[in-house]
Structure 1
Amino acid sequence: MYLRQFKVFLVAAERESFTQAAKELYLTQPAVSFQIQALEDFFGAKLFKRTGRKVELTDAGDALLPYAKKIIEAMEESKKAIEQVGAAKTGKLVVGASTTIGIYILPPLIAIYRSKYPQTIISIRVENTEGIEEALLRKDIDFGLIEGFVKSSYVKREKFRDDELVLIVPAHHPWPDVIELSDLMIEPLILREEGSGTRMVLEGALMEKSLSVSDLNINMVLGNTEAIKHAVAAGLGVSFVSKCTIGKELALGLLRIVRVRGFNVMRELFIIRRENEDLSPYAERILRFLNKPTPIETPFSPADK
């Protein structure tokens, strides 16, 4: 392999001396001369010429110099890349996730990832979107997955995937499959707490209709989707939740989806990380995995009823 010979060539060219190159590389001067000779034999050209006690590059050596630098840089980068692959298979990682993502979307994806890299230890911290942003800024988590918006300019946000909020009602609710927005305004409504990504997106959709949550008949505020689903199934009100969270309830006939004419609530889910900060090799690897369009396998398919 010619890597050592290129290194010797570069040091000799920079020091303009085989003797100095030998000292710097902990080699004997004959060893340096041997490596240069081997390189010259490979290219069939003289690379150095002697000028007194110094050596200078020939025209051929001058032509080789930038390529030798690129070869050394490429080898060092490739070595680092291989080391990162190994590092990515092991290590500890703390991922922050807002509620819907942390409970319904992330676990099956982590299961797929762990089947490939079982030595990676992954902890999932679940809070609402505001809590995840704060945890990221405190460096309590490596990166986060959120449903809403961020406030800090020190946080970088990139799209993760799309999600839809749907209106759920008890299975035997008298509403037809499609209602008007005016029907929604008078029905008891259950909302997520302030600071949750689901509520932020719903508020944004209402603003587009020149409305706010204060215009709705808010009956209850609950802190997680599971509590909301149970409350809706019990007949305490209707609510907007992520479609990916209700597959089981639809399959069991506990809930159904009702469409609101002209009111489709779509949202983007995001990956957030600290601005201008490199992640660990294993964090980078799992982010590359999460950014692939991997299907989420769940026992129930969240189809409309």
Structure 2
Amino acid sequence: MKKNKEFNFDLKQIRSFLEIIQENSFTKASRKLKIGQATISHHINLLEEMLGVVLMERSSKTFSVTPEGKIFKKFAESLFSDVENLKRDMSRGGFGGVTKIAASTISSTYILPDVVASLKKEDPELYFSIEAADSREAIEMIKEGKVELGIVGKMLKHPSLNYYHIFSDEIVLIGGKNSPASISLQELPHMPLIQRENGSGTRDAAEKCLNGHDIAPSDLSVVYECSTSEGVKEAVISGIGIAFISRLAIQRELQLKSLRIIGLNGITINRDFYAVHVKNRHLTEAGRKLLGELKKLK
């Protein structure tokens, strides 16, 4: 009687297989995984040898996934989804609930602390791990399964994601304490501007508004770029230039009169914040409670 062949899967090999398909390139996949191209090719060879089928037809410049490869792709995606679910469930450990959150700089600094404090009063065993990132990075972390929930300042629509509007904020133009009380739109392009990094929800909201008034990003006199609101405030206070920033981020500075809001022809820039998670993905107890509290902010 013929003995059935045993499959001994290596997750690294399967990840290499999925990344090649995702990136549509052996070279790009090897760069993303930070392993040599020879290693990633060896991973595919080992999988094909173990399975006894050809998963990818390869030439010197291109490749195509075989019918057997497409079947294996479905299995691999399901396997990694199960692995991520297991990691999230096991992360609860001895705590009442554990959840990892990716939050934009404004939400991690000015929104989440009060919400988490309220939850901790009700359930002291809840445990949260917060990773600050800009909105684009936070959404990517959600999609990749690195975190359970995201709190972001913009929506990047994707069929696998659920967004919930939780809060509205105002973006204001600020300058040093001796700045004018207001300027015209025509004056703005000629003033030194401090801006957040590409991917920032604050920057996107400001640029979208200005575009609606025929001022393109290339028209602005950007002299300084910073990845945090705290850095932006310090740059403004130091006299480097003016900046668009969340009103939430400047309450203390307004009280101290170390900077001031500059009116811009009566223009108001609003920015919405959203909670986001992957559809049909299990949320931990802490994740469900946090999402419920965030929805109450509206």
**TM-score bucket of the superposed structures, by smaller chain:** 0.5 to 0.7
Structure 2 unaligned segments of length 5 or more: list them. Answer: 1-94
Partner of 1:152: 158
Instruction: Give how far 1:186 is off.
Output: 0.9
Instruction: Give how far 1:179 is off.
Output: 2.1
Paired with 2:140 and 2:156, the residues of 1 have a C-alpha distance of 10
Partner of 1:292: 296
**Aligned partner of 2:105 among 99, 116, 130:** 99
Paired with 1:196 and 1:158, the residues of 2 have a C-alpha distance of 19
**Aligned partner of 1:114 among 101, 120, 127:** 120
Q: Secondary structure in 2 aligned to 1:121? A: strand
Q: Does 2:283 align with 1:279?
A: yes
Instruction: Give how far 1:93 is off.
Output: 1.0
Structure 1 unaligned segments of length 5 or more: list them. Answer: 1-88, 295-305
Paired with 1:105 and 1:93, the residues of 2 have a C-alpha distance of 17
Partner of 2:49: none
Partner of 1:267: 271
Aligned-pair identity (%):
29
Contact 1:159/1:269, CA 8 A, preserved across alignment: yes
TM-score, length of structure 2 as denominator length: 0.66
Aligned length in residues: 205
Q: Secondary structure in 1 aligned to 2:173? A: strand
Instruction: Give how far 1:211 is off.
Output: 2.1
TM-score, length of structure 1 as denominator length: 0.64
Instruction: Give how far 1:151 is off.
Output: 4.6
Q: How large is the RMSD of aligned CA atoms in angstroms?
A: 1.8
Partner of 2:173: 167
**Aligned partner of 2:226 among 216, 222, 225:** 222
Q: State the Cα deviation string for residues 236-285 of structure 1 (Å, max 9, x = none).
A: 00000000001111111111111111421101111111123242233112
Instruction: Give how far 1:141 is off.
Output: 0.9
Paired with 2:191 and 2:281, the residues of 1 have a C-alpha distance of 47
Determine which structure has more spread, i.e. the larger CA radius of gyration.
1
Contact 1:181/1:263, CA 8 A, preserved across alignment: no
Paired with 2:286 and 2:231, the residues of 1 have a C-alpha distance of 34
Q: Secondary structure in 1 aligned to 2:187? A: helix
Paired with 1:119 and 1:266, the residues of 2 have a C-alpha distance of 36
Contact 2:97/2:284, CA 8 A, preserved across alignment: no
Contact 1:149/1:197, CA 8 A, preserved across alignment: no
Contact 2:192/2:222, CA 8 A, preserved across alignment: yes
Instruction: Give how far 1:90 is off.
Output: 1.4
Paired with 2:149 and 2:208, the residues of 1 have a C-alpha distance of 25
